[in-house]
Amino acid sequence: MLYIKCPYCGLRAQKEFSYGGDATVKRPNINEEVSSEDWDNFVYMRKSPRGKHIELWQHIAGCRQWIKVQRDTATHEIFQTAKVTEEIR
């Protein structure tokens, strides 16, 4: 079970969180024209990297905040966690 550092609550067990997918995907702006390709990329296309991956998790059984987690998909090592408003590099 992973040990995830919620930027608001501190280190918590994985069972308090739910997974939310790739955090680097950006939704096209609302009320703006978007090409079919950009839209498809947003809705469907995801990379499945082996290694570092920035992803979203929600602390559903805690503060209910969505957070960013940089995790190694092969080893589960977590390098960094951040608020969604912050950048992970």
Partner 1 sequence: MSQPFRLNKEGLINRNKKLSFTFNGKKLFGYEGDTIASALIANGIHLVGRSFKYHRPRGFFGAGVEEPNAKLQVEFNGHSEPNVNATEMELVEGLSATSQNCWPSVNFDIGAINNFLKMFFPAGFYYKTFMWPKSFWYKIYEPFIRKAAGLGVASIEKDKERYEHKFEYCDLLVTGSGPSGLASAYAAAKNGAKVILAEDKPRFGGTLLTDDVSIDNLSGKDWAEKIITELKSMPNVTVKNRSQVFGYYDHNMLVMFERVSDHLEKKSKFTPRQRLWYIRAKETILSTGSIERPIVFGNNDTPGIFLSAAAKEYMKVYGVLVGKKPLIFTNNDSAYETALEFKKNNVEPIILDTREEHSSELIDEAKSKGIDIRFSHGVIVANGYKKVKSAKIGKLNKDKNSFEKIETVDCDCICVSGFWTPSVHLASQSGNKLKYEEKIDAFIPDKKKQHETSVGAANGSFTLEESLKHGFENGSNLSAKITETKTEISIPNVNEKKYGAHDKFWCMPLPKNENPKRFVDFQNDVSVSDIEIALREGYRSIEHVKRYTTLGMATDQGRTSNLNGLQLVSNIENKIVPEVGHTTFRPPFTPITIGTIVGREVGMEYMPTRKTPMHEWHEKNNAVFVDAGAWKRPRYYKLGSETLFEASKREAKNVRENVGICDVTTLGKIDIKGPDAAEFLNRVYTNAWMKLPVGKARYGLMLREDGIVMDDGTTTRISENHYHMTTTTAQAANVLSHLEYYLQIVWPELNVNVVSTTEQWAGAAIAGPKSRDMLSKLYPDLDVSNEALPFMGYKEAEFFGVPSRIFRISFSGELAYEINVKSDHGMFMWEKMMEVGKDFGNQPYGTEALSTLRIEMGHVAGPELDGRTIPSDVSLNGLVSKKKDFIGKNSLGREAFNVESRQKIVGLIPIDRKSSIPEGSHIVQDQNAKLPNPKLGHVSSSCWSVENNNPFSLAIMKDGKNMIGKKFFAVSPLKNKSIEVEVISSHYVDPEGKRVRS
Name the β-bridge partners of 83.
Answer: 67
SS3 39: helix
Q: Counting contacts by CB under 8 A, is residue 75 touching partner 1?
A: yes
> Exactly one of 24, 76, 79, 86 binds partner 1 (CB under 8 A); which one?
76
4, 12 in Cβ contact below 8 A?
yes
- Contact status, residue 29 vs residue 18, Cβ threshold 8 Å: no
Residue 9 or 28: the one with the smaller Cβ distance to partner 1 is 28
Residues that bind partner 1 (CB under 8 A): 1-3, 13, 18, 20, 27-28, 30-31, 34, 39, 42-44, 56, 58, 60, 64-66, 75-78, 84-85
